[in-house]
Structures are given as C-alpha cells and as structure tokens.
Amino acid sequence: MCGLTGLWGPEIGDERSLLGRMVDAIVHRGPDQQGIWYSETDKIGLAHRRLSIIDLSNQGAQPMFSADGRYRIAYNGEIYNFEEIREEINAHDSKIQWRGCSDTEVLLTAIQIWGLEGSVAKFAGMFAFALWDDLEKRLHLVRDRLGEKPLYYGWVKETLLFGSELSALQTHPAWIGEIDRDSLTLFLRYSYVPTPYSIYKGIKKLTPGTILTLSSSGDKEAIPVPFWDLQSVAMHGIKNPNPQTASELVKDLDLRLRRTIKRQMISDVPLGAFLSGGIDSSTIVALMQDQCDRPVKTFTIGFNEKGYDEALFAKKIASHLGTDHTELYVTPSEAQGVIHQLPATFAEPFADSSQIPMLLVSALAKQKVTVSLSGDGGDELFCGYNRYIWGNNIWNGIKHVPRGIRSLCAAGITSIPPGVWTNLANRLPLLKSRSGFGEKIHKLAALLDAKDHDTLCHRLLSLWFDPASVVLNGREPTVRYISNQKDCGIIDTTLKMMFIDMLNYMPDDILVKVDRSAMAVSLETRVPFLDHELVEFAWSIPLHWKKKDGVGKWILREVLYQYVPRKMIERPKQGFAVPIDQWLRGPLKEWAEELLSENRLIRDGFFNPTPIRKAWKEHLIGSRNRHYFLWNTLMFQSWLQHQGLSS
C-alpha cells in the first residue's frame, strides 16, 4: 500500500523538487521510502511514497523500470496472485532474471510480455497505477475493478496532474481548485462525491475497472476504457444462476472465501483484522484463524453509549476463535476529538459518520500490525442492508394505490411532528419497536408519493431529496445508474439496489472511508469480499439463497455457523456508528452552531441558509432527528474552513 502522484506538461521550473513537494503531501500513505523519476525529454514525472509490505528491500522501490527499459511505473496496491503470475512468466521465459521479490516487478514484467490489457485481466488484487510507455510515449492510468485504491486526475491549464489523493495535486503551484457546485449537490444527497466527479472543477476520479490512455499531456478528450465491468458480471450471474443446491453453495462459498483470505494473508510485515462481531468481519476472522497456526491479531473499538457498542460481541467472537484480541473503549471526548482531523484526512468533503470509529480502530491496529483485513463488501454482495428488503416490501404495498391518495396520506403523516407519533407509539404495547417511531414513519411518508419504484429506491439512497434547492447555483448531474436505474438492465428491485450500491456506494463511501482512515496512520487494509472472482461467483448465487425468510445474508451466515455458534451472531444489525445526533445537541453544539450560523452560510455563499437553519432548529429542540442532513453540511463547512476558503 503506497501513494503515487505525477505530472505531465510544460516545465515551470525545478520539476524534481516540485514532484518531491507533491509526494510529500501524501507521506502518510508511504512513510518507508520516497522515489522520484522525471524525464526532461518528455516532460513527464512520477513520484511515489512506499509502505513496504512485500519485499522490504530496495528492490521493491518505485518508480520502477521494466527490465527492457520501456515502462516506468508508480503503483499503489497489492497483486495477491503475483506468485502465480511469476510462475507463469517463468514458464513462458525461463531466462527471466528477477531483481527482487516484489509484486511490482511481476506486474511490470507481465506487462512487458502480455501488454497492459492482457496483464490486468490476470491481476487479482487492489491497484491504482500510472504507467509510462517510453516507446509509444503514452501514459496509462489504471484503477482496480472494484475501486479499492483511489486515483484522481485532471488538467491545470496544459499540465496533467494525477495522484492518490487531492492533497498531492493541490501542491502544484498552478492549482486553481474551483469548487464544483454541481458536485456539491451530489455530496449533499449521498454524503460523498460520486465517481467520476470530485469536489473540484476539472478534476476527476478514475472509474474503477478502467484504463485511461493519454497520448499527450493535453489529451483532454481521452475516455477511460473498461477492462472489467460490474454490470456485465451482474447480468451474467442473474441470467445464468448457479444450479447447485444450498448445501453445495455453502461449501463452495466456504472454499472460495478460504482461498481468497489465505491469498490476502501473504505479507512480510505483521498482519491482523478488524473485528466488529458482525457477520462479515467474523467470517473473515474465522477463516483467517482456521488457516493460521498462531492467534490472529484482531481489533475492536468500543463505546459506552447504549446502542452503539459492539465491542462485547466482538470479544465473545474473539474468545471463541482464540484470536489475540485488542479492544479499546473510547470516551465521547476522544471520539469527538477526531472530528477536527476529518478535513485533512479525507481531503474532500466526506460525511459518513462511521469515519470516526474507522479512524480510531485504524490507529489502534497500527500499534501492532501494518496490514489489516476488513469485512467490507458482505452487505452489498449478500443482501445485508435492511433497505434492500424494505424497498421491495414498501413498493409492493403501495404500488397499486393511486399516487394522489398516497401523496395525501404522506401530507397527513408529516403534518404531525415525529415526537407526537413516538408518544402515540409508546401507548401501544403491541408495537414491537417504538424507539424513533416518529422518525421512521416520517421517512415512510417521504417514500409514499414516489412516482415509480426507481424513484423510491433513489430516495432510500438519498439524504437531501432536492439538494439543488440547497446549493446556490448548483445543478445535480447524473450518476452511474442511480439517476436512471432502468439503464442498469436489472429488473428485480433488491438486486438492482445491491448492484447500484456496489457500483457507487461501495467505492465512493465505504472504500474511501477505509482507505483514507487507514492510510492516515500508514496502515494497509485488504478487503477479501471484493476479490473479483468471488464477486463474480456471488452474483451467480440466486437471490433466494441470499435473502431467505426475510433475513439477509442467509448463505454467508451458513458459512459462518460452521465456525461460530449461531447464538453469538443472531441479533439485530448494528452499524459501525457513533451518536452524532446526541453529540450535536450536547458537546458539539457550539462547534456546529458556529459552522451553521446564518451569517456564515451567507458569507460563504454556497448554501441557501433557510432549509439548513430550519433543520438545525428542529434537531436542537428535539422535534426531529436531522443529524444526517446536518452532518453533510457540517462536513462541507468544516472542510471549507480547513481549505482556508471560509470567511
């Protein structure tokens, strides 16, 4: 796991020194070594920060040249099957002289033999890299299939800039950094800026599973070309469902997970895993421990607030599996202290509040390991989110009711404050879940007048339903398959939502959170569920084996129950969350009020203050829980302040 950056364009001075400053901005991604290469002939430069994981010697240093001198690469990631590819290369040419044992050298040699497109098809892993072809004078920017590793790129006048994080690009003296108000509308809706957009005009995120090939630094018309396509994978799996029985599928999934996890445990430095006690992380840890001759190091963060603590569950799982477990209970003040680090850590507005515990558990793990496996991806692959089931059930319940009647019902529901609904619910002992009942019924009302099922699904994925009315001079652009879900070709509601989440929410929220949080403390993370072969297999599993009797992740549970007793796992799903709603009414109130003051919002000139101030007032008096809406706004305002752009 490393960091890369580079530039291609007219010289403006000492380019080597400039590249040094650019790569120093991401030193946290690779504190072990720095490398810079610049061609005065071609005016192109690559810079790299290394976090040594495989082959700790200088033979793994980057930017690295291919043996024939044709290619130069700056690479971030891990190719987990590099040893298999190395054997295939040796069989192809027994005279290959290897300089070291790194996956980077294998990657370069494979490209030298089979070309770029032929090689990336062989790579199993996470990767983002910049590859300079000195023969054809072309630059290739490449990002892995699921988007585990980040790669930004864009033009400042005639100079192409690219890098693992925006902070590297911002160091260039010609950097403009004009905020894209259209991207800001997307951020308010989703809590993240979706690919290919970034918060800045002219700067993009490379789409996962694509190669961008540039023939000149000013080649602004170049379009990323896919080498792997999730839509094709999903459609093929849906149209060609796996015919195995349930027991056969459980056995097959177990074997595939074991193989993937074993491959991802290869490391020349200490390795462990995050353990929340949920299904996904427990499955990863169980299969790690079952294939390891010593206790796996596992890590959990705990909170004392009721409803937010999973540390007790994780401890029980760790004890059962026999892991070397470390837990840390964090006080509210310690967790809140992380908030001021968020703008620098993410370098772009990002508002998934689970970023706070993610930063804390990453720092905890870094004290003992350099690599940590994560259970992310299980929900999207195996139907784990409640909204996958709710969306289908709600639409089936309302689709035959005329929209006009549904709209009237919605208006009637929302005319009564959430607090009143909750009080009414508290008087009905037969109602199973009364906590937050008012908020839940108001959320249902927001879905009732949806014109079609795609609109309903979109609202389930949204926070602000009409962000363009909040962002001054902002127009909401389209996002891959979210804006027009019919284009994805998937008819089934649940499968459609799983696909959209894997295409957008996974790389732009979950993986951003994991990558930036871990890299902030120089910790490499690996996500076994996102092995592309496992993803392809998972999409072939019929939905009725993922969602059975109204319960998600059925087949994954069956795998886990072979290692962990059912009673340790069966409990309501609990997110990796912190009590932001309570904190905003208490210790964070003064901080939030300063950022959300009407005068400040007006001076900054990005938001219409009226809906924001209304939401803030409702939240403070307790008539509504508006922390999701407010956290998005606060994270942008905090980021703006960190950038020195707020008045």
Alpha-carbon distance of 362 to 520, in angstroms, equals 9
DSSP-derived pairing of the beta strands 2-8 and 159-163: antiparallel
Mind giving me the DSSP string for 91-106? HH-TT-------HHHH
Helix (H) or strand (E) holding 425: helix 418-426
Residue 529 CB partners (closer than 8 Å, separation 6+): 280, 284, 375, 376, 377, 378, 381, 535
Measure the CA–CA gap between 44 and 42, rounded to whole angstroms: 5
Strand order in the sheet with 44-50: 33-39, 44-50, 2-8, 159-163, 152-156, 203-205
| Catalytic choice (2, 383, 457, 488) | 2
Distance (Å, whole) CA 154 – CA 160: 6
Q: Is 409 a catalytic residue?
A: no
Q: 252: annotated binding-site residue?
A: no
Q: Which residues contact 216 (CB under 8 A, 6 or more apart)?
A: none
The answer to whether the Cα torsion of 317, 320, 323, 326 is positive or negative is positive
Terminal Cα distance for the chain, rounded: 37
Structure tokens at 257: 């997970």
102 in a known ligand binding site: no
The amino acid that residue 271 corresponds to is L
The verdict on whether residue 26 carries a ligand-binding annotation is no
The Cα–Cα gap between 343 and 165 comes to 13
* 609: amino acid identity, one letter: P
Residue pair 107/119 in contact (Cβ under 8 Å)? The answer is yes
Please report, as a single letter, which amino acid is at residue 195. T
301 appears as a binding residue in the annotation: yes
**Binding site per annotation, positions for ATP:** 301, 374-375
Q: Which residues are annotated as a binding site for L-glutamine?
A: 103
Report the catalytic residues: 2
